[in-house]
Chains A and B, each alone.
Chain A
Amino acid sequence: MSFQLEVPHNIVFISCAILGWLIVLILVSRQYLKQQEKPTYWKVILVVLVGMGSVTTNLNLLQFSMKVSILPLGVWLLVGMLSKKSWQTYRPYAWIGFWANFIFLGTTLMTGYIDNSVYPKEDASTYIADLKHASIVAIHPSAHPATLNNERLQTHLSDLQSADVLGMEWNRNSALESEYYYQKERFPYALLGTLPRWGSNLNSSIYIQDDGRGLLITTSNQSYYYRSKEPLIDMGVRNDDE
């Protein structure tokens, strides 16, 4: 049973995985204490792990596609392998193994939900949390001289307005001779040296617009675009008549 969507490999993901195993451990311990005839400890662990084996089916729920266990293959295997007497002793652990699939499904669902609330993906400050060592660099010959004022950028980050990413249009603007942006770049500055929010493990490239008031954040599969009323960088004197 697993997810076919992007699961963040960060602190939230690890915490939720640990939580899942902790729940399984508690269930096993409770069962163990309850039983009068104590089974062998290492055999219990083995039975739980084998019990996890299952046949899965794909289920589409909301926008996620996930694999859900339906047939307890591992449990059946154990029924076949164990003698009648030991089956009586180990049966509860085999089933805990099977149900653990659903515990992990739950914690994985939780991962996505918590991750999004701890590290909102739409929020620029998730990607730009630390500006201490930030700098800007012109990445295109059409860039005018500009300088970064770290503190000012920090203050303006909270007042950004989200806007639409118009990738196709921007690309066309730079490709057509009749357009103002022909052979120019709409985002000619890169913002380097910033850190994403702690523990998020979010990689992105960050660009600033030629007018100094737009911010583009591009992750491995998605861009986010923001506009600011105030300039985010100090633009040099511009000749608008060129």
Chain B
Amino acid sequence: MMMNKKMVLIPILLVMIAVIVYLFYDGKPKPFLEDTQAIKVMNQLYTEGNISEIVDVIPLDSKHVFVPIISGDDHYGMSFWEWDRFQWRLGRIDTKGAPYIWKIDEKDASTHYIVWNMDPEDELSELKYYLIGERDFHSSEDVESYRPRVQMELTTTLQKQKYGVLPFPKDWVELMNGNLRLSRANQLTSLFLMNSPSSSLYIGWIPFGHHGKVTFPENTVNGSSFDSGRINVDFVRILNESELELSK
């Protein structure tokens, strides 16, 4: 009888341990795939992309890799990869390389990265990214509020390479995280108060060509994309210079 009990209990215990290990196994990331392998995975998941070349492999952290690519039609695109316990998984493909913000942890702006891959035919020399917060006020009988305009600039050169990854500067991160905290508090109070001011910061960009002239990057925009739904990205809008204050 004793024997029998043990015979049953031990396998159950082993299975339970296996399940727990499986559930909590975090998997130390392996080195990223070989070029040919990565291309194969991408073309399997997204045939229309017709990817032909890996331009570079840029790790954001140990588990997230940005891979600028060239598609069969000579478009400059991007792919987003994530280590998922046992393997590198494709998160997203864009057939063109207009900037996106990749949010690893949505609630923490220090894990947000701007990524891009400009088509060389657009002949851009530098990109300017902007952190924008609209000036905003609310005025009612017992509530008076004002929010100053935020307009901060971050320049990145395209002299050496047309693609890149950029984390936000420390000041931006603090402003954005403060803003996120405030809007979470806002969500709580807006259950009670209808007209709470909306507060949002967003990122925009302006591309510059020869001699610092604003240039529309025709070959870099309007691509198509494949999204697995497992990663979190945000589109970055091209700003018009007239939307900026004090622009010379």
Interface segment, one of B10-18, B133-141, B214-222, B225-233: B133-141
Contact A167 B196, CB 8 Å, known A203-B181, A203-B185, A205-B179: no
Contact A185 B148 (CB under 8 A): yes
Interface segment, one of B21-29, B107-115, B187-195: B187-195
A127 to chain B, nearest CB (A): 12
Chain A positions 206 through 242: 1 when the CB is less than 8 Å from some CB of chain B, otherwise 0? 0100000000101111110100000000000000000
**A125 close to chain B: CB less than 8 A:** no
Majority SS at the chain A contact face: loop
Contact B174 A192 (CB under 8 A): yes
Contact B174 A220 (CB under 8 A): no
**A113 close to chain B: CB less than 8 A:** no
Chain A residues positioned under 8 Å from B152 (CB to CB): 138-140
Chain A residues close to B by CB (< 8 Å): 4-6, 9, 63, 137-142, 164-168, 170-171, 174, 183-188, 190, 192-193, 203-205, 207, 216, 218-223, 225
Choose one: B178, B181, B245; the contact of A184 (CB below 8 Å).
Answer: B245
Contact B149 A220 (CB under 8 A): no
Chain B residues positioned under 8 Å from A225 (CB to CB): 146
How many chain B residues sit at the interface, stated as a range, is: 35 or more
Choose one: B183, B193, B197, B246; the contact of A183 (CB below 8 Å).
Answer: B246
**B50 close to chain A: CB less than 8 A:** no
Contact A192 B171 (CB under 8 A): yes
Chain A residues positioned under 8 Å from B196 (CB to CB): 220-221
Closest 8 CB pairs of A and B: A167-B137, A167-B146, A183-B245, A220-B186, A187-B148, A223-B145, A165-B144, A137-B171
Docked CA distance A140–B247 (Å)? 11
Chain B residues positioned under 8 Å from A219 (CB to CB): 182, 185
